[in-house]
Amino acid sequence: MNENNRTEKGWKPIPLSLKILFVVFVLWAIGSVFAISERSESGLPFFGMYLYGSYASLIVLLLDVMAPLTFLFALWNRKSWGVSFALTYIAVFILNGVVAYFTVREQLGIPQILIPSIVNVIFLLVIYKTRSYTK
Q: How does pLDDT run across 75-94, given as a tens digit for each residue? A: 999 999 999 999 999 999 99
* DSSP track, 39-63: HHHH-EEETTEEE-HHHHHHHIIII
CB 126 within 8 A of CB 120: no
Q: Determine the Cα–Cα distance for residues 74 and 117; give it in Å rounded to an integer.
A: 23
pLDDT, mean of residues 26-55: 95
Domains of the chain: which residue ranges? 15-134
User: Does 135 have pLDDT greater than 90?
Assistant: no
Give the global pTM: 0.89
Q: Determine the Cα–Cα distance for residues 125 and 38; give it in Å rounded to an integer.
A: 30
